[in-house]
Structure 1
Amino acid sequence: MVYDTIGASPVAWAGKPYPAVRDAAERDGSVAVVPVGSLEQHGHHLPTATDTILADAVATTAAERAADAMPVLVTPPIWTGHSPHHTPFGGTVSLDGGDLLDLLERVAETVLAEGFDGLLLLNGHGGNGALVSSATSAIGASHRTAEVLGVTYFDLGADRIGEIRDSDRGGAGHAGEVETSMLAHLRPDLVDLDAAEGTPWESPYDRTRDDLSHPGPLSAYADFDAYSETGAVGTPELATAEKGERFFEVFVDEVGDVLERLHERAG
């Protein structure tokens, strides 16, 4: 699978003339998906657009599989997010939190103005999580006749991911086993497994997020050079494309369930 051409998918908003977009929006239970990513360092072995590529791939594949049962379109991804904690390594473009929140609200305003009944903000970067939640609330309050959801895709399916991974807790962090495996599956041309080197995720505080699939209730800030010398947190050395396909299928399946329920509620 290669997701590198804007508009190539049959569910891509960007590949359709405007009458086709409006036709989709006007159908009962119509859903628009906005992938939200980042442009930030991902160690020595993954591209800086990792979060954007993965969020877009999960959103697009889930929507393609749901398209026979519902009218659904996926916008091009928002490619930059809130990433100040990655700037010490370089290669990172970051928005202030308020700017990202404003961007999400403005995008949603025009998406919903087309007539879509439901909107899903599908996030792929941990630093965006709280802002996507805030945007979901603000957008929902401003558009009370629409169904509005927001989710970080890797917060879904933790038990199923645990059955696939080989790393201990802390091994599936930023640019760790899960993200590296999925990129090796989706875009092997952008992955250098020989350069994969990370530090298992360890926080000085209990109950913070300490793994991609283990979010915690406590929030704390630290620049990522406090966690890792390479910028990768976890054990990317354990990544394989075969596991990446299985991880990817879990997330696509979980997001598909979200889309199904959103369509039912929006109809």
Structure 2
Amino acid sequence: MLYDAIGATSSEWAGKSYAEIKETAARDGSVLVIPVGSIEQHGHHLPVATDTILVEAMVTGAAERAPEDAPVLVVPPVWSGFSPHHLSFGGTLSLEFEHLRSVLEDVALTGVKSGFDAVCFVNGHGGNTALINAVVSTVGTSTDAEVLGTTYFTLATEEIDALRESELGGMAHGGEYETSLMLHLRPDLVADSDTAAATAWDEHYDWGGSDLLKGGTLAVYRGFDEYSESGAIGAPHLASAEKGSRIYDIVTEELAALFVAIHEHNA
């Protein structure tokens, strides 16, 4: 990762020279990966950078799992997302929708100019989902490279659902899923369990989302303070580092398979 004291990984754009980047891009089926996070409140027990930390870890882990002959490079994460629904709690940094769209378009279009055959946005924040989908189209019409987008916590949901101890709604914002991953990846940033206050998910419409694994078919806008007093929703008290390790392995394996499939399709 970019700020890891042990140095850059082999799949990290930021740790390479421009010549090395162009060499990777020139290989058949080269894939540029753009992680997109957010800086927003995650209750009292998780840091505001949770989404950015997790999406960067997922894409870096997945790229490292991919075979050495799969030319995949990961750019530094876009750390600010679209999070107006979290602003009432404080601690949140949010870009306007159009501004973030422009940032993502610029990163992608300048990145592929190095010669990449495909670009894949990987999202780590629910509030970015519609924007990522839009950018896939706007970038796709502006380049010959194949353009794709996904959200990491929508991958391998059946396998992860089998790991959960919480009822539906427990793997929501700052809940069992994200807290487990943070306990595995960055336990130093997770506060004591007695600060992990969270509200049960309560969505009025049956068609709305239930948690990270069950996104629902209806988009609803509400300020987050209408859902939770603490800013967290779900069951963080059921989180564990062991569960986080399993989630990490499952998702990075699935994401690596996606990167390989993109590479092979464009080779």
TM-score, normalising length from structure 2?
A: 0.96
Task: Return the alpha-carbon distance in structure 2 between the equivalents of residues 120 and 67 of structure 1.
Answer: 17
Q: What SS class does the counterpart of residue 141 from structure 2 fall into?
A: helix
Once superposed, which parts of structure 1, at least 4 consecutive aligned residues long, lie more than 4 Å away? none
Per the alignment, residue 112 of structure 1 pairs with: 112
Which residue number in structure 2 is paired with residue 191 of structure 1? 190
> Does structure 1 conserve the Cα–Cα contact (< 8 Å) formed by 2:199 and 2:228?
yes
- In 2, Cα distance between the equivalents of 1:224 and 1:107? 29
Matched residue, 2:152: 153
- Change in CA separation of 1:200 and 1:3 when aligned onto 2, cut-off 3 Å: farther
Residue 25 of structure 1 deviates from its aligned partner by: 0.6
Q: For residues 136 and 258 of structure 1, what CA distance do their matches in structure 2 show?
A: 16
Matches within 5 A, 1:173-252: 173-194=172-193, 195-252=195-252
- Alpha-carbon deviations, 1:15-34, whole Å to 9, x = none? 01111011101111111111
Percent pairwise identity = 50
Deviation at residue 3 of structure 1 after TM alignment: 7.7
Q: Please state if 1:264 is matched with 2:267.
A: no
Native 8 Å contact 1:3 1:186 kept in 2? no
For residue 262 of structure 1, give the secondary structure of its aligned residue in structure 2.
helix
Residue 124 of structure 1, CA deviation:
0.2
Indicate if the aligned counterparts of 1:147 and 1:265 stay in contact, CA closer than 8 A: no
Q: Quote the Cα distance in structure 2 between the aligned partners of 1:199 and 1:250.
A: 27
Q: How many Å apart are 1:5 and its aligned residue? A: 2.0
* Paired letter, 1:159: E
Shift of 1:67: 4.3
Residue 141 of structure 1: aligned partner? 141
Whether the 8 Å CA contact 2:40–2:48 is kept in 1: the answer is yes
Give the distance between the partners of 1:201 and 1:147, measured in 2 at CA: 37
Q: Please give the alpha-carbon distance, in whole angstroms, between the structure 2 residues aligned to 1:29 and 1:216.
A: 34
- Partners of 1:212 and 1:3 lie apart in 2 by 27
How many Å separate the matches in 1 of 2:83 and 2:94?
5
SS at match of 1:149: strand
Cα distance in 2, alignment partners of residues 174 and 160 from structure 1: 19
Partner of 1:33: 33
Separation (CA, whole Å) in 1 of partners of 2:105 and 2:164: 36
CA contact (8 A) 1:3 1:57 kept: no
Query: How much does 1:247 deviate?
Result: 0.9
AA of the residue aligned to 1:167: S
Structure 2 SS opposite 1:122: strand
Structure 1 13/89 Cα, relative in aligned 2: closer, same or farther at 3 Å?
Answer: same
Aligned to 1:170: 169
Q: Does 1:10 align with 2:10?
A: yes
Q: Which runs of 5+ in 1 are unaligned?
A: none
Question: Aligned partners of 2:160 and 2:200: how far apart in 1?
Answer: 17
Q: Which runs of 5+ in 2 are unaligned?
A: none
Q: Could you give the per-residue CA deviations for residues 180-222 of structure 1, whole angstroms, max 9, x where no partner exists?
A: 0000000000001421121121111121111100011110001
In the alignment, residue 170 of structure 1 is paired with which amino acid? G
AA at the equivalent of 2:169: G
Residue 58 of structure 1 is matched in structure 2 by 58
Residues 130-171 of structure 1, C-alpha deviations (whole Å, 9 max, x = no match): 00000011111111x311110011011111111111001000
* Cα pair distance change 1:3/1:47, threshold 3 Å: farther
Structure 1 range deviating more: 130-139 or 188-197: 188-197
Is 2:36–2:124's contact at 8 Å kept on the other side of the alignment?
yes
Distance 2:61 2:112 in 1: 22
Q: Give the Cα separation in 1 of the matches to 2:2 and 2:199.
A: 29
